[in-house]
Structure 1
């Protein structure tokens, strides 16, 4: 790639993801501030944090659909602007509404980073996409480690105000802005390979139905009166209708396999398993005899190391095998956390959970890039966006469960998600195997 500084662009992308990750660590720490000091309930905090996830989804979907029209560079600078505004508004937040609006901008900034940088990394390293996507995503858990340590040092050890912690975000924000400044950013892999926009849409399988489904999820996560209640048959009817429409749009209209919709479904559960648990870690493990921020640092530290060395594991097991193993270990980790009481057992259980969720996010993106390459930037953006909007739905549900049923019951109930994933990933392995046999 002529006149493209691949190393500088990759480092800049990692720093942009670092800002995204630190916001997650900060939210995990300051949720108590808004309940104790500003009088919000845990369910309200969960809803106010929700835009950080569905805003992420909106930005990723918009980026996926329009990145090749407006160019990657524009999306990068949108991310910078949204991050800047969101951080300033978060510093000013004192109630539900102001916290909600701040998280809208932070979510849009975070989503724009993923919408731009996932396809950028895949384009910069076309021969080792899954490996480099895992290395790029090292900086998500890596950033949470940094943010968690800073949160513990500033707020727990030094007893400083939370605004000082949030203000530190301006440092990596300024650096990644400088790193992208004046750089030539290449076209996405889809454009470079000559795959048409129409063909990209077709390879998503059911783009219209999937987009509508995500919009419904955002509404459920945002509007309290639309809260999910499984006491009635309505949620199950809606899910069944969406599945039917996906089958019709994918098989009848687009006449293509439903591989991408299956990956989309799996992403909803993998993201909720990982991010739902880590975002509520302060409330979930507050009574376990060890600082939840230390647990968060351990979990995300293990994830960072695992992702950095993911290349060899992915090569030996292939991406789908890695995902199946991850689902099994995640189930064990959540069940162990649900019965943990002391510091040592909690730490060991958290380590098992960390190994389980370690490869979920980047490997899911890698599966789309490896096995459904014509889905392009849109496919990667839909998966990332869907993961975050699913988490925005889970957060208030978890918050309410923690208040009513307790932390241990909530963790046990969350283990149902990776159990479902075990079945789904076995199906994915069989479909990919059949797909590869036909390709040969």
Structure 2
């Protein structure tokens, strides 16, 4: 592309994602600080951390709907300033309210990175989208490795305050700001290929229902009375899911007259993201007293994820994206069950490695599936998936926190294994749909 420095922009995007990822590692480490030193309950910490996820979703949805109007560059700089404000506020956090507000800004910054950089990567590399999306997303687990090692070194080995750890975020923030400064940013793939905004909306399948569903999920994650009403029994969630499913079918098939492939991918993203991010965010409490520091386990998990994503191209080529997702779900189930029964350091590391193989390809491959098989969903489709993944995690965090308090870590891990069990069946169905679509 004329006037576009693909290599510099890709590196800048990767460093922006690095900042996002390090914030996740930092949150995983400082949950115990706010519980032990500041006196917050685990469920309250889960709610205070939740804006990092639903704020992510809000920014991604807004970016997906408006990126072609305000341009990718504007979303990138919004991410930079939201990150800056969020880091400053997190440094000053000392109670539930201040921690909550800091996570709102960090969530908005993180979501803006994904909203801008996923379509940027596909625009830069239109002929190898899934491969380069996996390489871009190397920096999410890679950043968590960096953050985990920094946390262990700064807070545990050097016994420095947690604020020193947070302040380290300013370094990659400054670098990615410098790399983006003054650069020509290409149009999104939708614009460059001439797909209309209306057609992009239609290819999402049920954009109104999906958007309203995510708004409802944000309310469940943040309004205690709504959350209690939804989780008070097993019947209410089932009824809500059935109502949403019917609404998606009506909007997608009867109104938009299009396949429901994207809504299926959307549903799978809710479960896959919760499996990955819910577990890693609570890892310090879930794997305490296993004979090895939880931050080391987090480093092992995310390190293996980074390596796997870097070499994802050949695996995706051999198995195709839905095949990769089926294997990922199976390994995720096995990893969580092994983690629930592990008793020593060695077994815990092996179990964590199995889990890492499982969740490794979930996120980028889900986005890649949408980009490959529903290409006209454009930047909006990618943003909806990323946003949905994080808002689902925002819902599951306080639920996991309560479960850890009431039932304990082992039962919580076993409960989480139900999500990838469902995904095994869903991805098999996705594989059949994609195969039939190819032969149609």
TM-score clears 0.5? yes
Distance change in 2, residues 1:232/1:338 (3 Å): closer
Residues matched between the structures, number: 438
TM-align CA RMSD: 0.6
Cα deviation 1:70-129 (Å, max 9, x = unaligned) = 000000000001000000000010000000000000000000000000000000000000
**What does residue 22 of structure 1 align with?**
22
Helix, strand or coil for the counterpart of 2:320? helix
**What does residue 160 of structure 1 align with?**
160
**What does residue 384 of structure 2 align with?**
382
**What does residue 12 of structure 1 align with?**
12
Taking the TM superposition and a 5 Å limit, the aligned residue runs for 1:214-363 are 214-227=214-227, 228-231=230-233, 233-363=235-365
Measured after TM superposition, the shift of residue 225 of structure 1 is 1.5
State yes or no: 1:200 paired with 2:200.
yes
Helix, strand or coil for the counterpart of 2:116? helix
Give the Cα separation in 2 of the matches to 1:88 and 1:367.
Answer: 37
Helix, strand or coil for the counterpart of 1:219? helix
**What does residue 76 of structure 1 align with?**
76
State yes or no: 1:32 paired with 2:32.
yes
Give the TM-score normalised by the residue count of structure 1. 0.99
Helix, strand or coil for the counterpart of 2:437? helix
Give the Cα separation in 1 of the matches to 2:211 and 2:364.
Answer: 21
State yes or no: 1:416 paired with 2:418.
yes
Helix, strand or coil for the counterpart of 2:231? coil
**What does residue 64 of structure 1 align with?**
64
Give the Cα separation in 2 of the matches to 1:76 and 1:66.
Answer: 13
Q: Unaligned 5+ residue runs, structure 1?
A: none
Measured after TM superposition, the shift of residue 234 of structure 1 is 2.2
**What does residue 115 of structure 2 align with?**
115
**What does residue 187 of structure 2 align with?**
187
Cα deviation 1:215-274 (Å, max 9, x = unaligned) = 000000011122241515222211111110000000000000000000000000000000
**What does residue 407 of structure 2 align with?**
405
Cα deviation 1:15-47 (Å, max 9, x = unaligned) = 000000000000000000100111100000000
Give the TM-score normalised by the residue count of structure 2. 0.99
Helix, strand or coil for the counterpart of 2:133? helix
Give the Cα separation in 2 of the matches to 1:23 and 1:75.
Answer: 19
Cα deviation 1:193-219 (Å, max 9, x = unaligned) = 000000000000000000000000000
**What does residue 141 of structure 2 align with?**
141
Q: Unaligned 5+ residue runs, structure 2?
A: none
Cα deviation 1:361-397 (Å, max 9, x = unaligned) = 0000000000000000000000000000000000000
Give the Cα separation in 1 of the matches to 2:7 and 2:330.
Answer: 36
Give the Cα separation in 1 of the matches to 2:236 and 2:433.
Answer: 31
Helix, strand or coil for the counterpart of 1:276? helix
**What does residue 102 of structure 1 align with?**
102
